[in-house]
Amino acid sequence: MTASAALTNNTVNEKREAIEAHATRQSRLMFGGMALIALYLIASFIQFDIGSIVQKWNPTRASMFVLDTYAHKDHVTMKWKEPGKVEASFEGGWRHVYQTPPSWLVPGADGAQTVTFANGSTITFFKDRVVMTHEELSQPLTFRVSAQGKPYIEGHESSQAGLPGWIRVSESKVEVRPSLYERLQVYKTKAEVHRYSVGWKYFWFDFDSKLRDYSLFGAIGLAFSGERLDPEQPNFSFALQEFLNNEIW
């Protein structure tokens, strides 16, 4: 073997050894990282008592948490001490009360207020009771509060037999949840409805904004409108300012 051939073989061997050493280091790093992740997961499982959480897992409650990521809710409340006064608000915020009732809150000739849902069910607030209709009910249910302050369902004062599984009655509350999008809670002091709708309401402009009922494209269209919403600035600047100052965010 010539000197040049031997030198070439030595160079090849050195490169092969370098590549193998690099591959070994990479393998050790990978397995070391996997071991650290495994140790972290085991420590977290112990630290946060994951086993106990799994045992207490409630799929209904979990779905309610997930619901808030893709839907919003409006609250409709009547306090028993103020019969006839029904207040609707976005997400229950005291600053986000509807001065003009939404289209789904329908007034009645007798002073009643009816919350309508997309599936056709209704919940009506009267001065002394709340009445619910639903496709799974053979007849409407009437909710009241006794003189002792206990909420109850007419005809089921002493027994819950015959009630759907989505109704729970306790000493302090009647909880009605026929679906993720409908909820009624009757307490000693008040009755409240949560009406869920898909989408993030007031995502672009907050509740008090002049643009709150505009979509994004509707607001963009205002930039090309000759009539200014704010005499002091162009519509584009106004819309941008309203977006950046969205207080709900």
The mean pLDDT of 228-245, rounded to a whole number, is 78
pLDDT computed for residue 249 by the predictor? 65
pTM: 0.65
- Answer with the residue of higher pLDDT: 157 or 249: 157
Q: What are phi and psi of 41, to 5 degrees?
A: -65, -40
- Answer with the residue of higher pLDDT: 247 or 115: 115
- For the CA atoms of 12, 16, 22, 25, the dihedral, rounded to the nearest 10 degrees, stands at -150
93: number of Cβ within 10 Å: 11
Q: Tens digits of per-residue pLDDT, 210-233?
A: 777 777 777 778 777 767 777 778
Token code pair at residue 107: 């007034």
Q: Tens digits of per-residue pLDDT, 2-54?
A: 655 555 666 767 777 777 777 788 888 888 888 888 888 887 777 766 666 66
Question: Residue 51 carries which side chain, given as an amino acid letter?
Answer: G
**Distance between CA atoms of 100 and 97, rounded to whole angstroms?**
9
DSSP per position, 46-95:
HHTTHHHHHHT--HHHHHHHHHHHHEEEEEEEEETTSTT-EEEEETT-TT
The mean pLDDT of 68-94, rounded to a whole number, is 86
